[in-house]
């Protein structure tokens, strides 16, 4: 084995270890990982900017069948992940937006209801909410309150509401 390069020796050792442990993968066989969540759709939820400028085009991605939700509670769940493409910053590396997001949801199949509140501060409009509605069709309403962070939070707050639904 002295004549082989270090890379070739490493490859041989890894191959032998895979065969010994029983984890060998034959040609054409893929080691596919199960999906940890399922993309449903994107909802557009624009809001007036508390700073002078055009409206903030916020996109809310809707995911269902989330096996490991970010809130640490057992899945499956629905996650709403919001983001805007343009940051605003008066001072670099400082939070310039304060957001208070409320998601009210109702499982129309079971009648179960809930409310999730998400306070956030960031250089761009971004937040994430996790819903635990059980199985069935879920309708939700997103209410955003977005203000400027100008030495105090929530200066010149702007409001928006948008709606969506997803299977749970």
Res. 155: pLDDT tops 60: yes
Question: Is the Cβ–Cβ distance between 110 and 134 less than 8 Å?
Answer: yes
| pLDDT category of residue 91 using cuts at 50, 70 and 90 | low
CB atoms under 10 Å from CB of 40, counted, come to 18
Q: Does residue 14 carry a pLDDT above 50? A: no
Domain that holds residue 49: 35-167
Confidence of residue 149 (pLDDT cuts 50, 70, 90): confident
- Structure confidence at residue 11 as a pLDDT band (50, 70, 90): very low
**70 in any annotated domain:** yes
Quick one: pLDDT band at residue 12, thresholds 50, 70, 90? very low
Residues 142/60, Cβ–Cβ less than 8 Å: yes
3-state SS track over the chain: CCCCCHHHHHHHHHHHHHHHHCCCCCCCCCCCCCCCCEEEEEEECCECCCCCCCCECCEEEEEEEECCCCCCCCCCEEEEEEECCCCCCCCCCCCCEEEEEEEEEEECCCCCEEEEEEEEEECCCEEEEEECCCCCEEEEEEEEEEEECCCCCCEEEEEEEEEEEEEC
Mean pLDDT score across all residues of the chain: 81
Which tens digit of pLDDT belongs to each residue from 100-137?
Answer: 999 999 999 999 999 999 999 988 899 999 999 999 99
- Domain-embedded: residue 23: no
CATH code for the domain in which residue 103 is found = 2.60.40
The residue among 45 and 13 whose pLDDT is bigger is 45
- The answer as to whether 67 is a domain residue is yes
> How many independent structural domains does the chain possess?
1
pLDDT (0 to 100) of residue 33: 46
pLDDT digits (tens, 9 = 90+) for 21-79: 344 443 444 444 456 889 999 999 999 999 888 899 999 999 999 999 989 999 889 99
Hunting for tokens 């499956």 — which residue is that? 76
Count CB neighbours of 112 within 10 A: 16
Residue 7 has pLDDT above 60, yes or no: no
- pLDDT score for 8: 46
């Amino acid at each position: 084995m002295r004549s082989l390069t270090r890379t070739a020796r490493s490859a041989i050792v890894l191959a032998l270890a895979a065969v010994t442990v029983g984890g060998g993968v034959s040609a054409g066989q893929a080691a596919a990982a199960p999906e940890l969540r399922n993309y449903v759709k994107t909802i557009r939820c624009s809001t007036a900017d508390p700073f002078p400028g055009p409206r903030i085009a916020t996109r809310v991605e809707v995911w269902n069948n989330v096996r490991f939700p970010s809130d640490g509670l057992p899945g499956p769940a629905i996650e709403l992940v919001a983001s805007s493409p343009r940051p605003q910053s008066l001072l670099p590396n400082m939070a310039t937006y304060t957001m208070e997001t409320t998601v009210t949801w109702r499982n129309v199949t079971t009648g179960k209801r809930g409310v999730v509140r998400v306070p956030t501060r960031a250089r761009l409009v971004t937040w994430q909410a996790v819903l635990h509605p059980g199985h069935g069709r879920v309708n939700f309403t997103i209410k955003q309150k977005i203000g400027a962070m100008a030495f105090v939070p929530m200066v010149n707050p702007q409001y928006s509401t948008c709606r969506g639904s997803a299977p749970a």
